[in-house]
Amino acid sequence: MKRFFLLFIIILLVLSCDTKHDKAFDKDLALIPKPQHVETKPGIFIFNGQSAFYSEGEFKLASDFLIEYLSAGSAFNLKYTTKDKASILFLKNPEIPSEGYTLDVSKNMIIISASDGSGAFYAVQTLRQLLPIELEAQKKYAKHEIVIPNIAIEDAPVFRYRGMHLDVGRHFFPKEYIKKYIARLAMLKMNYFHWHLTEDQGWRIEIKKYPRLTTHGAYRDETLIGHYNDTPHQFDGERYGGFYTQDDIREIIDFAAKHKVTIIPEIEMPGHSQAAISAYPELGCTGEDVPVANKWGVFDDIYCPNKTTFGFLKDVLTEVMELFPGEYIHIGGDEAPKKRWKECDHCQKLIQDLGLKDEHGLQSYFIKEMEKFINDHGKKIIGWDEILEGGLAPNATVMSWRGTQGAINAAKEGHDVILTPTSHCYFDYYQANFSDEPLAIGGYLPLKKVYGFNPIPPELNHKESQFVLGAQGNVWTEYIKTEEQVEYMVFPRILALCEVVWSGASQNIKAEYPEFLLRLESYLDRLDVMDIHYANHLYEIEGNVKKVENKVYYQLTIPSSKGDIHYSINQSEFTPYIKPLLIEKNSHIVTKAYKGGEPVGHEFSEFIQIHKAITAEISINVSPHPSYSSGGEVALINGINGSDERYGDKEWLGFWGNDLEITLDLKEEMDINSISSRFFNAPGQWIYAPKDLSLIIENAQRDPVSFTISLTQNRDQLLIPFKLDLSNSGTIKTKQIKLIIPSYGIIPDGNQGAGYKAWTFIDEIVIE
């Protein structure tokens, strides 16, 4: 009887122990990026000091990573053993797709299988997310056991190019931070690091043959303070710069290789080269001294396509290619003003001698010359989508940033493409519309929009879509000075992008995004332990006007399902939000978010103006640019004005070089007293209010009435308003109003973006 009782007690203890461990995994697994297939199983696996490893061939890098990670974060002294004695096995399976893996955790064993070293490494990154987040602190884990759930995962990436970019030309980041940045990409299964090393504002890579590139070109005398749109420009008066020695770069490349990250160096040409021309003036068309740029933007001084320049660039690229083992060299090719080439006798003669059409053809010649040299050294080039202009180099890969059209055109020609459009992939854009957000270049790219990105444009058929290698997030650092700010702009948007390129584009964002947010909310705890400075907008309220049967409602939403909303209208008492609010008069709405009864996030407020067009139908002859269209056409008649300081929120609509015809159908005839709106005007960012516009008011009783409004006054303002006052014109009844808004046109020489089309940004159209 005693034996039976003792056995019963032991069984109870074992069961209670298992139950205690299992409770740690009651919540959903917060795996990012989401694996292709996950099957949870009953039971647990326990790591302890006796856990032993076995690894086949090329998988030792992955198993070493796991041993070092566990050893640094715990008191375990983990070792290798034979296959039959090991409890953690790394095994080769050639049938698994490249970079894919299986992870099978059972009670007594963990088996990782892959066909290559990258797959085994990514299996470890998934396993890492099943371990206690305290291990991320890389301090000794107090417990003697580490428990993970039994699970079976089959996984492989959808895209083979999964990239992140970092511009170190505008602001420099030291070697140790670059390694930290790479490690964080690897953690999320990103496999390419695009390192933007040369710029107008600083040359960052040591080139032995040209020492002035770093002794002179790596430093600027001072830096712009505030935003480029601020006038007059102010500077800090402090010398700024830095560069990486070739030894630094070798160290970083070795570190990246251990994290299965390939580095793509970018050496800009022919534009964004003022720092190099400052160091060696003979590389420019004028031969005159120019400073290393001290403010942002696009500059006229670009490389002159002459024998000296080509010799210089070939020497530079020879040293670069000797350093970087990857297959790609990025040569830029973007934002190269042609002013100097138009004024240069040598360039004009070269155009004539080569039978080229114009300066765009000359740029194509320039890129093709450099591509041939790079190809002869066994490498391939990547260029921004401007390299399509004038004819694409034969073997070039196009990185499409101005939208998706560059990718579409290149893929249809049979060229590889990487998608990185401003609309979804520019992480230097604002991610929220609060006044305390860090200063940014502009734009608006919230987390949900990144998550909703599909790197394959719908215009491509199945065969053409095979040329889409993947996508990349870009971090341009004009307004990003510190490591903490880099992290704030990157996280958590990189978590959405890594899921897009690894797991594939969302097929049902309405259902899948909330599920992603649940995993993200848990993942943020990991970022806290890692001391990553991220943006948390999970409790930020958003408001949207909804129109149903000529009635106006205001709908409030919050990303996190764990948050509650309270609201006040026109200074009423705060009350819990349950359903959309009926708006029948001008209303000032203030909202607050709560989690567990405690306030979280920002207080959010909105003013809604009820005017005669708010329930109208609107049509525009062209769609707004995807980067500036989040509110849709109805944003122009929803009763809400855009920001007075930023053009990138969902209330401003942006159009690039389009002449606009906006038609408002009021549905029934109304008396009209005034029509008003406003345009954003920021020439430093290529945004120009139109010079004039026309208003055509249809009238059932007589011919349409047309008005032309000039906008040539006060062009130095950030906001250019207009108002057509009809109160002294007698009663004007109308059902339909048209706004004819010509684009400003081509940006003139001497201005930022010279030679490019100007942007038009328009706000709420108010009819009273």
Q: Are residues 504 and 564 in the same domain?
A: no
* Residue 18 pLDDT exceeds 80: no
| 8 A C-beta contact, residue 601 and residue 434 | no
Helices (H), 445-543: 447-451, 462-465, 483-490, 493-503, 509-529
Which CATH number covers residue 710?
Answer: 2.60.120.260
Tell me the pairing of strands 397-400 and 380-384.
parallel
| 8 A C-beta contact, residue 310 and residue 303 | no
Q: Are residues 522 and 551 in the same domain?
A: no
Please report whether residue 17 resides in a domain.
no
> What CA–CA distance (Å, rounded) separates 333 from 383?
6
Please report whether residue 544 resides in a domain.
yes
3-class DSSP state of 145: coil
* Residue 755 pLDDT exceeds 60: yes
Q: Are residues 384 and 444 in the same domain?
A: yes
User: What residues form DSSP beta bridges with 759?
Assistant: 656, 687
Model confidence at 140, in pLDDT bands (50, 70, 90)?
Answer: low
Q: Are residues 565 and 658 in the same domain?
A: no
Q: At 80, which helix (H) or strand (E)?
A: strand 79-80
Question: What percentage of residues in the chain have a pLDDT greater than 70?
Answer: 95
Please report whether residue 3 resides in a domain.
no
Given 155, 190, 219, the domain boundary residue is 155
Place of tokens 């070697």: 175
Q: Enumerate residues 6+ apart whose C-beta is below 8 A from 671.
A: 731, 732, 733
* Residue 15 pLDDT exceeds 70: no
Model confidence at 686, in pLDDT bands (50, 70, 90)?
Answer: very high
| 8 A C-beta contact, residue 667 and residue 675 | no
Q: What is the mean pLDDT of residues 139-163?
A: 90
Q: What is the CA radius of gyration of the chain?
A: 29
| 8 A C-beta contact, residue 394 and residue 368 | yes
Model confidence at 572, in pLDDT bands (50, 70, 90)?
Answer: very high
Q: What is the mean pLDDT of residues 434-451?
A: 93
* Residue 713 pLDDT exceeds 90: no
Q: Are residues 165 and 268 in the same domain?
A: yes
Q: Are residues 604 and 616 in the same domain?
A: no
More confident residue, 443 or 168: 168
pTM metric for this prediction: 0.91
Mean pLDDT (the chain) is: 92
Model confidence at 6, in pLDDT bands (50, 70, 90)?
Answer: very low
> What CA–CA distance (Å, rounded) separates 184 from 532?
10
Tokens for 421, please give them. Answer: 């459009």
Q: What is the mean pLDDT of residues 155-160?
A: 98
Highest mean pLDDT pick, 15-29, 231-245, 712-726, 730-744: 231-245
| 8 A C-beta contact, residue 667 and residue 615 | yes
Given 576, 608, 640, the domain boundary residue is 608
Q: How far is CA 41 from CA 28, 90, 134, 324, in A?
A: 13, 21, 24, 44
Q: What is the mean pLDDT of residues 376-383?
A: 96
Model confidence at 14, in pLDDT bands (50, 70, 90)?
Answer: very low
Q: Are residues 145 and 170 in the same domain?
A: no
Q: Are residues 197 and 308 in the same domain?
A: yes
pLDDT of residue 25: 35
pLDDT of residue 705: 87
Say which DSSP state 505 is in: -
Please report whether residue 336 resides in a domain.
yes
pLDDT of residue 680: 96
Which residue range forms the structural domain that includes residue 493? Answer: 161-529
Q: What is the mean pLDDT of residues 460-465?
A: 97
Please report whether residue 167 resides in a domain.
yes
From the list 80, 81, 114, 77, the residue with the least C-alpha distance to 99 is 114
Q: Are residues 304 and 395 in the same domain?
A: yes
More confident residue, 233 or 57: 233
First-to-last C-alpha distance (Å) of the chain:
93
Model confidence at 22, in pLDDT bands (50, 70, 90)?
Answer: very low
Q: Are residues 212 and 330 in the same domain?
A: yes
Say which DSSP state 682 is in: B
pLDDT of residue 766: 97
* Residue 700 pLDDT exceeds 90: no
Please report whether residue 63 resides in a domain.
yes
Q: Are residues 83 and 184 in the same domain?
A: no
| 8 A C-beta contact, residue 467 and residue 410 | yes
pLDDT of residue 529: 94
Q: How far is CA 158 from CA 35, 162, 163, 473, 563, in A?
A: 11, 10, 13, 17, 33
Which CATH number covers residue 503?
Answer: 3.20.20.80
Determine whether 627 is exposed, middle or buried from the number of CB atoms within 10 Å of its CB (0-12, 13-18, 19+): buried
Model confidence at 434, in pLDDT bands (50, 70, 90)?
Answer: confident
More confident residue, 752 or 659: 659
Structural domain tally of the chain?
4
* Residue 627 pLDDT exceeds 90: no
Q: Are residues 146 and 192 in the same domain?
A: no
> How many other CB atoms sit within 10 Å of the CB of residue 251?
16
How many H-runs (helices) and E-runs (strands) does the chain carry?
Answer: 18, 38
Question: What percentage of residues in the chain have a pLDDT greater than 90?
Answer: 83
CA dihedral 457, 472, 187, 451 (to 10 degrees): -50
